[in-house]
Amino acid sequence: MKLADENKKYLLTGNEACAEAAIQAGCRFYYGYPITPQNEILTHMAIRMPQVGGTSIQVESELAAINMVHGSAAAGARAMTSSSSPGISLKQEGISYLAGSELPCVIVNVQRGGPGLGDISPSQADYFQAVKGGGHGDYHTIVLAPSSVQETADLVFDAFDLADRYRNPVMILGDAQLGQMMESVVFNKKCKPNSFKKDWALTGANGKKRNIIKSFYPVRGELEEFNAKLQAKYSLIKSKEVRYEEINTENADIVIVAYGTCARICKEVLMENKTPNIKVGLLRPITLWPYPSQIIQEISEKVRAILTVEMSAGQMVEDVRLSVSGKCPVHFYGRTGGGIPSPKEIIRKITEIISVKEEKTSVT
């Protein structure tokens, strides 16, 4: 594949689209280690990076990969690493250092089943790890959750811009389903990698004040001050960068909250009018951090119930409950270990929730 033509449509896996979008977004430094189900990212980078004068290294470990990203980001370049769940766990120390050093970079997690070695099937069980920090210390990565191959590509572009704008790591949280499936994709997002001034980067102190990239603040009081600065940045991100998709939430009886692959499945429930007597809406968070709490709270005041659907034992549902704050019942349906909720299962759950409610209403 040659340099992507913005007018052309390509048939690619989510992983390939992710890698190509990174190149189109000006990423020239990629460091990765093989792990299923994200290997296509490595192989695509190995072919494409030399064609565009970039660097793609298959490294000795996930630790080396994330720390090479640290180096390239500190040097002012757009850098990326990718992995799947167990590998992302290994990178967590490095992600904490990147956040603590305020370095921009993109990390891709093509989630698989866990815990431990788990399996290579789709999963959303790394939600906590992705949105609550993951590594040590008070920090956040911006987390973007695509639900199609096209959106994977588009969000990779946005991820690099967000990273540079806020000097913060950004994670693309996909899963084995999104990474492996093929769909048509166009690379027509406009991106200006050089529009962010990086006067903090390490380039050698030639004729300018020298720069230090660090996260160590041993003098009493300095670290608290630095944390306050980080928290102020996170507040700004929360106020400006929340993204979500809202379908049929007006006058809905029940609204499903789901992201990524699960949101796609839930769309099927909505589209084919499979619940003619119950009006079902969908709220799909696109940013998992910052979380779309405000809109979920507003919805909770208008609906009979909210249903959260995940490929986990119930992780995002905690953020839904925090957002709803008791205003309406919050139900959960999840599958784990590579199980994928089917539209039929979701409809059964919806019917169950509403009929239980109706029974209660008729009794009182």
Partner 1 sequence: MEAIYKTPDTIIDTPTHYCPGCGHGIIQRLIAEIIDEKDIRGKTIGIAPVGCAVLAYNYLDIDMCEAAHGRPPAVATGIKRVHPDKIIFSYQGDGDLAAIGLSEIIHTANRGENITVIFVNNAVYGMTNGQMAPTTLLNQKTLTTPQGRSEQCDGAPLRICELLSVVDGSRFIARTSVTSPKNIIKTKQLIAKGFNTQIQKKGFSLIEVLSPCPVYWRMSSVGSMKFIDDEMTKVFPLGVFKDWESQN
CB of 79 to partner 1, least distance (A): 7
Whole-angstrom distance, CA of residue 123 vs CA of residue 115: 11
Residue 53 binds partner 1, judged by CB under 8 A: no
Based on CB atoms, which residue is closest to partner 1, 184 or 203?
Answer: 203
Who contacts 132 (Cβ-Cβ below 8 Å, separation ≥6)?
A: none
CB of 175 to partner 1, least distance (A): 28
CB of 100 to partner 1, least distance (A): 9
CB of 98 to partner 1, least distance (A): 10
Residue 293 binds partner 1, judged by CB under 8 A: no
3-state DSSP assignment of residue 331:
strand
CB of 50 to partner 1, least distance (A): 13
Residue 44 binds partner 1, judged by CB under 8 A: no
Which of 21, 73, 145, 262: binder of partner 1 (CB under 8 A)? 73
Which of 211, 227, 275, 297: binder of partner 1 (CB under 8 A)? 211
Based on CB atoms, which residue is closest to partner 1, 69 or 163?
Answer: 69
Q: Which of residues 221-250 bind partner 1 (CB under 8 A)?
A: none
Residue 67 binds partner 1, judged by CB under 8 A: yes
Residue 35 binds partner 1, judged by CB under 8 A: no
Residue 31 binds partner 1, judged by CB under 8 A: yes
Kindly write out the interface string for residues 98-127 of this chain, putting x where it contacts partner 1 by CB under 8 A and - elsewhere. ---x--------------------------
Whole-angstrom distance, CA of residue 321 vs CA of residue 315: 11
Which of 2, 210, 220, 360: binder of partner 1 (CB under 8 A)? 210
Neighbours of 56 (CB within 10 A): 22
Residue 340 binds partner 1, judged by CB under 8 A: no
Which of 36, 43, 55, 336: binder of partner 1 (CB under 8 A)? 55
Handedness of CA 111, 115, 121, 124 (dihedral sign): negative
Contact predicate 71/103, CB 8 Å: no
Residue 193 binds partner 1, judged by CB under 8 A: no
Torsion from C-alpha of 219, 223, 228, 232, nearest 10 degrees: 120
Neighbours of 359 (CB within 10 A): 10
Residue 92 binds partner 1, judged by CB under 8 A: no
Q: Phi-psi bin for 33: left (phi > 0), alpha (psi -120 to 50), beta? A: beta
- Exposure pattern of 181-220 as b/e (b: 16+ CB <10 Å)? bebebbbebebeeeeeebeeeeeeeeeeeebebebeeeee
Residue 205 binds partner 1, judged by CB under 8 A: yes
Based on CB atoms, which residue is closest to partner 1, 97 or 234?
Answer: 97
Which of 46, 90, 186, 202: binder of partner 1 (CB under 8 A)? 202
Based on CB atoms, which residue is closest to partner 1, 93 or 119?
Answer: 93
Who contacts 199 (Cβ-Cβ below 8 Å, separation ≥6)?
A: none
Contact predicate 41/15, CB 8 Å: yes
**DSSP one-letter code for 112:** B
Whole-angstrom distance, CA of residue 1 vs CA of residue 4: 8
Q: Which two tokens stand for residue 36?
A: 């299923």
Residue 199 binds partner 1, judged by CB under 8 A: no
Based on CB atoms, which residue is closest to partner 1, 57 or 230?
Answer: 57
Residue 363 binds partner 1, judged by CB under 8 A: no
CB of 93 to partner 1, least distance (A): 6
Taking CA atoms, 271 is separated from 183, 186, 284, 343, in Å, by 20, 25, 15, 11
CB of 32 to partner 1, least distance (A): 13
Taking CA atoms, 314 is separated from 115, 126, 153, 308, 331, in Å, by 14, 11, 28, 8, 10
Place of tokens 């603040």: 217
Residue 63 binds partner 1, judged by CB under 8 A: yes
Binding site for partner 1 (CB under 8 A): 29, 31, 55, 57, 59-61, 63-65, 67-77, 79, 93-94, 97, 101, 202-207, 210-216, 218
